[in-house]
Structure 1
Amino acid sequence: MPAIVEPKLITGNANKPLASAIARRMSLHRGVNVGLVDARVERFNDGEIFVEVFENVRGEDMFIIQSTSNPANDNLMELLVMCDALRRSSASRITAVIPYFGYARQDRRTKARTPISAKLVANMIHGAGIERVLTMDLHAAQIQGFFDIPVDNLYASPVFALDIKAQFKDRMDELMVISPDVGGVARARELAKRINAPLSIVDKRREKPGEIAEMTVIGNVEGKVCLIVDDICDTAGTLCKAAEVLMENGAKEVHSYISHGVMSGPAVERVTNSVMKSLVLTDTIEPTQPIKDAANIRVVPTAPIFAQAILNIWNGTSVSSLFDDTTLSPIYDGLYAAE
């Protein structure tokens, strides 16, 4: 078997700009060109997915970069078919880099006769021949246990902390981190510790999915610059309502930091017309043109952290080292100006 010289990257159609950015960052780190493997991922007229890899991948360490975002079923199927093509082409190891893991919100049975779809998707990924998964901010930590293969879950909070320190460097003492629900307290607390800010909670009660019945602020937010932290923003209803409630309770400004910008339906319009001064998303899901055009929405890149994580996996070194600000800061040094 030939010696593995460089990690090989391949991507589907879910988020090609992120895949290209990861390849560029890896090229910088390695000092050699790390390109995307030449392949075509297409659909037949009836919607069937077809994959053809144009390069030799025998004995190679392959990384498939594919978010399972909207359209979730198509992108998930692309991932599985790409894996099958690589496995049948004698790739030595296949790692799925899934920046946004779709179906993660279906992580438990909330009612009788409902599925645990996140577990089903984990079984499909394992069954396709994928040997390791790299993802970011899983909706629920227990999803890692749904897999019978190693799962590395990166966190957006170190990246957000770097951005916050750059954006609010003169007002750090005014900041307060807000969890938009009780379930997200651990995520918000993690960011609050990183920027040395207090924590507050917006307690919400839902009558049915997509509708908020009542919201209550737990904690004193008067005169504070509030930073709402969450993993997913879908229709932005909860987020915009939480921002209104915080302003009504005396907050000076409201900003939001969201790991995955699903941003479906009226989300962009709601955010644009809301009291939020800014919404910061990562590019784990490819931003649409309305998101790019929105005056109060910013996108921070995840390519540097994913590129380093892929190299660490390939080298057999620690991925958890990327949870530390001191390790991450050099990777992101000057990036906001460059990108």
Structure 2
Amino acid sequence: MRPLKLFSLDAGADFALDVATALGVPLAAHEEREFVDGEHKLRPLDDVEGADVYLVQSLYSDRASSVDDKLVRMLFFVGALKDAGAARVTAVIPYLCYARKDRRTKLHDPLSSRYLASLFEALGTDCVVTLDVHNLAAFENAFRIRTLHLPAQPLFVDFVAERLQGDGNPLVVASPDVGGVKRAEALRQALGERLGGEVGRAFVEKYRSGDELSGGVLVGDVDGASVVIVDDLIAGGGTVRRATESLKRGGAARILVLASHGQFCGSALADLAQLPIDVLAVTNSLPQPVGTQLQIVDCAPLLAEAIRRLHHGGPATQLSV
């Protein structure tokens, strides 16, 4: 069997170390060098010839570097790994950038998710693994290489079941918009099986034009219920705010908000802290601030298991359902 090599760029080293610990392998060494003109170079320091290589890196913006900088570095490093003789390179991207621009809504709109896929394919990437992408069908159709999509749902089922111990209220799973109804329904069914009881459903009407949100009509009965809002991403927080206000008007007793990815742009996290939300939880697919009421659901073991199964020849696809 080919040796397994696990790499990360400097920006994602903390999370990648959690994945490495769960996987039981060390992070492989690499060099990341900056030049005075703003350019950079990356190269593996471990020997990767003939190896099965996994590169773990979420793609996002922060104060240190832009999403585009992280993307270019990752692409260049994939190319360097292939040039160094890696037999297979898998890009493990817990948060995949540009996944929200997956269709044309205005004249001459770009299809950024497809262009992103073409870049990874051009550099010789053999497989892309991600967590709860925005639009699964668009993600799968954009790539011409193998993809593995990991839902955070099993992690959220465990999280909610633990938080609701001793809760005597009816349970409802709500989508904050119509587009997320399928995701919410999958969680609703899984929670019903786990808890052995009836779980209600609801969703909140939402319309978006540019950065402006409207709507807010609640569909479903939440009076006296503990309501779980589930979404793939919290960025500005406007969608969650509208959903929370609608659910409270509908009589919800408790509100738990779950999101696979927490961007929390600007003052979003502070604004959400002012809402009547009992629990706000995201995975650690993106780095999060300490010292807040935000609760973290660890997705590193899930990604480690995906890497383990891919390396040993399966069954990895079972993790995608």
When the two structures are superposed, what TM-score results if normalisation uses the length of structure 2?
0.93
Superimposed CA distance per residue, residues 42-75 of structure 1 (whole angstroms, 9 cap, x where no aligned partner) = 4323332310221111110000001111121111
Q: What are the within-5 Å matches in structure 2 for residues 86-97 of structure 1? A: 86-97=81-92
Matches within 5 A, 1:168-247: 168-171=164-167, 174-196=170-192, 197-206=199-208, 208-247=209-248
* Counterpart secondary structure, 2:214: strand
SS at match of 2:10: coil
The answer on 1:310 being equivalent to 2:307 is: yes
Shift of residue 323 of structure 1?
5.2
**Which position in structure 2 is the counterpart of 1:4?**
2
For 1:75-86, list aligned pairs within 5 A.
75-86=70-81
Deviation, structure 1 residue 40: 2.1
SS in 2 for 1:285: coil
Report how far residue 241 of structure 1 moved.
Answer: 2.1
Deviation above 4 Å: which 4+ runs of structure 1?
none
Q: Tell me how far 1:77 sits from its aligned partner.
A: 0.8
Deviations 1:177-200 (A, max 9, x none): 010111111100010000012210
- 1:48 maps to which residue? 39
Deviation at 1:172, TM superposition (A): 7.0
What's 1:127 paired with?
Answer: 122
Contact 2:149 2:320 in 1 (8 A): no
Aligned AA for 2:122? G
Equivalent residue number for residue 64 of structure 1: 55
**Where does residue 335 of structure 1 map in the other structure?**
none
Is the Cα–Cα contact under 8 Å of residues 63 and 97 in structure 1 kept in the other structure? Answer: yes
Q: Which amino acid aligns with 1:10?
A: F
Alpha-carbon distance, 1:234 to partner:
0.3
> Quick one: distance in 2 between partners of 1:66 and 1:172?
41
**Aligned partners of 1:42, 1:131: CA distance in 2, in Å?**
26
Contact 1:237 1:270 (8 Å CA) reproduced? no
Change (3 A) 1:249 1:173: closer
Aligned-residue offset at 1:173:
5.7
1:283 equivalenced with 2:308 (yes/no): no
d(CA) in 2 for partners of 1:41, 1:144 = 31
How many positions carry a matched residue from both structures? 310
Q: Is the partner of 1:119 in helix, strand or coil? A: helix
123-132 or 162-171: which moved more?
162-171
Q: Secondary structure at the match of 2:161?
A: helix
* Aligned partner of residue 42 in structure 2, secondary structure: strand
**1:333 counterpart residue number:** none
Contact 1:118 1:143 (C-alpha < 8 Å) held by counterparts: yes
- Paired position in structure 2 for 1:158: 154
CA distance in 2, matches of 1:94, 1:35: 17
Matches within 5 A, 1:29-40: 34-40=25-31
C-alpha contact 1:14 1:69 (8 A) present in aligned 2: no
Determine if contact 2:169/2:224 at 8 Å carries over to the other structure.
no
Counterpart contact for 1:10–1:36, Cα < 8 Å? yes
Alpha-carbon contact 1:98-1:134 (below 8 Å) kept: yes
> 3-state DSSP class of the match of 1:115?
coil
Match of 1:98 in 2: 93
- What is the CA deviation profile of residues 20-44 of structure 1, one whole-angstrom value per residue up to 9, with x for unaligned ones? 00100111xxxxxx11111122432
Cα contact 2:101–2:110 (8 A) shared by 1: yes
After TM superposition, give the deviation of residue 176 of structure 1 in Å. 0.7
* Sequence identity (%): 31
* 8 Å Cα contact 2:171/2:227 also seen in 1: yes
Unaligned runs of 5+ in 1: 28-33, 325-339
Cα deviation for residue 223 of structure 1 reads 0.4
AA aligned to 1:51 is L
Is 1:114 equivalent to 2:112 in the alignment?
no
